Amino acid sequence: MNGALDEAKRKMEKSLKNFKDELSHIRTSRASVSLLETIKVECYGTKMPIPQIATVNVVEGKMLVIQPWDINLIKEIEKAIQKSDLGINPTNDGKTIRLVMPPLTEERRKELIKVAGRLAEDARIAIRNIRRDVLDKFKTAKKKGEISEDDYIQLEKKVQKLTDEYIKKIEEALKEKEKEILAP
């Protein structure tokens, strides 16, 4: 039964990681390379994320500087950024592209906090679904006589403790992102 518990922990860890990845793609007024990871550029017959075809640097926390390894891709990168949902207009000097992060309006900050809250709720639901699945396995094992009632109760407590631990980690990540969104 410890194998089922380990599997549940791995799945919860994966759910937490996915949640944190999704949070990193929410744009704040601070520049972050992760904002460009989802923007794909057509190059060499395939679509690739910007960080895989260019050097991306954060300057003064408010600007991203993109230097393509192949200068011929600069127009494609610029088009991909304009088509994306970033809402930032790139400036191109022929060798580099600059993205200046505009300050967020109060209304936009509230929207982003709601989006982060929905992502957190989805992550909490995923964690609770993992808890339910592992508890179902334990109930089946108890019915088959593979584990005793006392063992079941102990396993149930361990699963609940694990669930609470991951829900807490989700809450901490959400609070951190909210702070980041509200920061000027």
Question: Same CATH fold, 33-100 and 2-25+105-182?
Answer: no
Place of tokens 């699963």: 159
> Given a cut of 80, is residue 25 above it in pLDDT?
no
Burial state string for 115-137 with b = 16 or more CB within 10 A and e = fewer than 16: ebeebbeebbebbeebbeebbeb
> If one looks up domain 33-100 in CATH, what number appears?
3.30.1360.40
How large is the C-alpha radius of gyration of the chain?
Answer: 22
The domain ranges of the chain are: 2-25+105-182, 33-100
pTM of the model: 0.71
pLDDT > 80? residue 174: yes
DSSP 168: H
pLDDT tens string 30-80: 777 877 888 889 888 889 898 999 999 988 878 889 999 988 889 888 988
Q: Which two tokens stand for residue 138?
A: 């334990």
- Supply 6's token pair: 């380990």
Place of tokens 């209304």: 107
What DSSP line would sit under 52-84, residue for residue?
A: GTEEEEEETTTEEEEEESSGGGHHHHHHHHHHS
CATH number belonging to domain 2-25+105-182: 1.10.132.20
